[in-house]
């Protein structure tokens, strides 16, 4: 690797610790705030031949700690979800789900195979239905039934987490969601922030460039309220901070799409549109290869992927969000930057901890 003229840290290259496996990018819901709103593609399920190739590839990889069954679609919507869980039962599985398709057979299989599930709850009755188009009680009853089955089968798994995507539209429900998480004996409540996908949502964010007393006080009150309930809570950044890091890089994580493409993260797994502090931008999919053509570990260790991780780990990219020139600069609108990176993370809401992945 060419010297950059100053000392930078190397990162481990041959170990993948966490894998996001997108079983499908289809969903049975059409939520008003969904990241899929910015897509222009036809979603599809992962073919079983792709899954089988994935399983073959990971058999030779030591050190895998977690496989997250999620992505942008709803994993339980895949027609072969029961067989898939059986095939992957030897791994530590974490599933993200909207919780609407939890049949008794699926819940029993999840109890046998899945360690943790993260269920999206973006408000209480009225707000939840407004966002998701269904009744919250359907999710609550399913989770209560899951708890009963766990007791019958004498298993503490899967542990249940709730995730709340906060915006100006639903922030008034945040304390009630904390209470709901406590009532359901959730192992954790994850609060994340909205990524606006259309102009109608661009001003619905509650996070800001500069810290305010209002947000500071809100975070303190929410944290104290959750602690009073004995609830483990994760709270995102609500204002821009100097430090930045990518959990996908630091946790040695990769993302595999429903078609077998190996991408670095949620954000770069699909083409789409988003708004960052009111600025519209095009996000481009960035693939390092397809597991149907090349083994996963070979893709992970190829020079291009290594250089990408090296760049992010050592912060060798600009910070667009607080740049004085950002409003007149065209580069961020196409996910490029002034350091010459053609796929840039300089405007990433995940890297600044506004947005959180399970």
| pLDDT single digits (tens) 89-128 | 999 999 999 999 999 999 999 999 999 999 999 999 999 9
Q: Is residue 348 one of the residues assigned to a domain?
A: yes
Nearest to 99 by CA among 59, 146, 52: 146
Helices (H) and strands (E) in the chain, counts: 10, 11
pTM across the whole model: 0.93
Q: How many domains does the chain have?
A: 1
Residue 32: predicted pLDDT: 80
Q: Is 65 helix (H, G, I), strand (E, B) or coil?
A: coil
Pick the closest to residue 193 from 27, 22, 350 (CA basis): 350
Strand pairing partners for 159? 116
pLDDT of residue 200: 86
The residue ranges of DSSP E strands in the chain, in sequence order, are 18-21, 66-69, 93-97, 114-120, 159-166, 188-193, 233-234, 253-256, 262-263, 272-276, 279-283
Could you give the CA distance from residue 246 to residue 39 in angstroms, rounded to a whole number? 23
Element (H, E) at 138: helix 136-152
Specify if 6 maps to a domain.
yes
Q: Record the tokens describing residue 175, joined without a space.
A: 């304390």
Tell whether 96 is covered by a domain: yes
Residue 189: closest CA among 19, 20, 358: 358
The residue segments making up the domain with residue 164 are 2-352
**CA pair distance 240, 178, nearest whole angstrom:** 25
> Residue 38 has what pLDDT?
57
pLDDT by residue (tens digit) across 182-212?
999 999 999 999 999 888 889 999 999 999 9
> Quick one: pLDDT at residue 11?
54
User: CATH number for the domain including 172?
Assistant: 3.20.20.70
pLDDT value of position 272: 86
> Is residue 358, in this structure, part of any structural domain at all?
no
- The kind and range of the H/E element at 225 are helix 213-228
Contact of 255 with 248, CB cutoff 8 Å: yes
* Residue ranges in the chain whose pLDDT is less than 50: 1-8
Q: What is the pLDDT of residue 9?
A: 54
- The CA dihedral of 97, 103, 105, 106, to the nearest 10 degrees, is -10
For residue 357, tell me if it sits in a domain: no
């Amino acid at each position: 690797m060419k010297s950059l003229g100053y000392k930078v840290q190397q990162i481990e290259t041959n170990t993948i610790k966490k894998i996001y496996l997108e079983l499908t990018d289809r969903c049975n819901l059409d939520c008003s705030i969904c990241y899929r709103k910015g897509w222009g593609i036809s979603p599809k399920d992962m073919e079983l031949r792709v899954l089988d190739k994935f399983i073959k590839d990971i058999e030779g990889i030591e050190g895998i700690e977690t496989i997250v069954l999620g992505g942008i679609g709803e994993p339980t919507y895949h027609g072969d979800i029961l067989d898939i869980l059986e095939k992957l039962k030897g791994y530590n599985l974490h599933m993200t789900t909207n919780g609407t398709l939890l049949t008794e057979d699926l819940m029993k299989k999840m109890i046998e195979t899945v360690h943790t599930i993260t269920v999206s709850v973006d408000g209480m009755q009225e707000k939840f239905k407004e966002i998701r188009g269904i009744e919250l009680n359907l999710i609550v009853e399913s989770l209560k039934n899951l708890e009963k089955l766990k007791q019958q089968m004498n298993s503490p798994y899967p542990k249940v987490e709730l995730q709340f995507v906060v915006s100006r539209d639903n922030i008034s429900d945040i304390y009630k969601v904390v209470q709901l998480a406590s009532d359901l004996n959730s192992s954790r409540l994850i609060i994340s922030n909205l990524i606006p996908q259309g102009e109608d949502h661009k001003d619905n964010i509650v996070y800001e460039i500069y810290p305010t007393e209002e947000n500071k006080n809100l975070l303190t009150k929410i944290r104290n309220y959750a602690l009073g309930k004995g609830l483990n809570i994760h709270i995102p950044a609500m204002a821009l901070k100097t430090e930045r890091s990518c959990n996908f890089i630091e946790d040695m994580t990769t993302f595999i799409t429903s078609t077998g493409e190996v991408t670095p993260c949620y954000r770069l797994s699909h083409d789409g549109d988003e708004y960052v502090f009111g600025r519209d931008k095009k996000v481009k999919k960035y693939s390092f290869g397809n597991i149907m053509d090349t083994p996963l570990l070979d893709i992970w260790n190829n020079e291009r992927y290594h250089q990408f991780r090296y760049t992010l780990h050592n912060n060798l990219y600009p910070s667009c969000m607080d740049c004085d020139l950002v409003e007149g600069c065209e580069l961020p609108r196409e996910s490029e930057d002034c350091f010459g990176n053609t796929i840039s993370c300089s405007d990433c809401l995940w890297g600044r901890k506004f947005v959180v992945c399970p």
